[in-house]
């Protein structure tokens, strides 16, 4: 499930995700994505990929039901089996995933948005 939260935020993404009970897993430099999970170990678990674009957070959330399997290449590429391609049972738009997305939105919107500063406060 994909969703976006408008920034700016007063904390970095690692702290934001920590407050939502997510643990950092990895960074993909090519895709420009950060990977987080909740809980950090075991299955099932929520897994999300996070991108930052123009100060906004773009989430791609799913629920991993079991650990990914990295198959041994037994078939040719023409049969659709690719070496090193993970296969897993993931839920992307289930009610459980939708509720988790709403939970994340609620936490981050409620606690961590920068409050607008009154322009008169800055002038004195």
Prediction pTM value? 0.75
Under a CB-based contact definition with an 8 Å cutoff, are residues 87 and 59 in contact? no
* Residue 48, CA distances (Å) to 15, 21, 57, 76 in order: 15, 12, 12, 31
pLDDT tens, residue by residue, 13-42: 999 999 999 999 999 999 999 999 999 888
What's the pLDDT score for residue 40? Answer: 84
| Percentage of the chain lying above the pLDDT 70 cut | 73
- List Cβ neighbours of 82 (8 Å cut-off, separation of 6 or more): 73
The confidence band for 70, taking pLDDT boundaries of 50, 70 and 90, is low
> Residues in the chain, how many?
124
Domain boundary assignment for the chain:
2-123
Under a CB-based contact definition with an 8 Å cutoff, are residues 22 and 41 in contact? no
Provide the 3-class DSSP secondary structure of residue 51. Answer: strand
């Amino acid at each position: 499930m994909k969703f976006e939260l408008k920034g700016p935020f007063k904390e970095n993404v690692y702290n934001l995700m920590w407050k939502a009970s997510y643990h950092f897993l990895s960074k993909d430099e090519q895709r420009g994505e950060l990977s987080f999970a909740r809980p950090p170990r075991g299955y099932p678990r929520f897994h999300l990929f996070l991108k930052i674009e123009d100060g906004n957070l773009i989430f791609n959330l799913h629920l991993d039901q079991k650990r990914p399997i990295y198959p041994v290449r037994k078939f040719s590429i023409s049969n659709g089996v690719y070496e090193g391609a993970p296969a897993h049972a993931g839920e992307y738009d289930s009610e459980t995933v939708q509720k988790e997305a709403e939970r994340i939105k609620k936490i981050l919107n409620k606690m961590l948005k920068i409050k607008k500063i009154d322009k008169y406060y800055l002038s004195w």
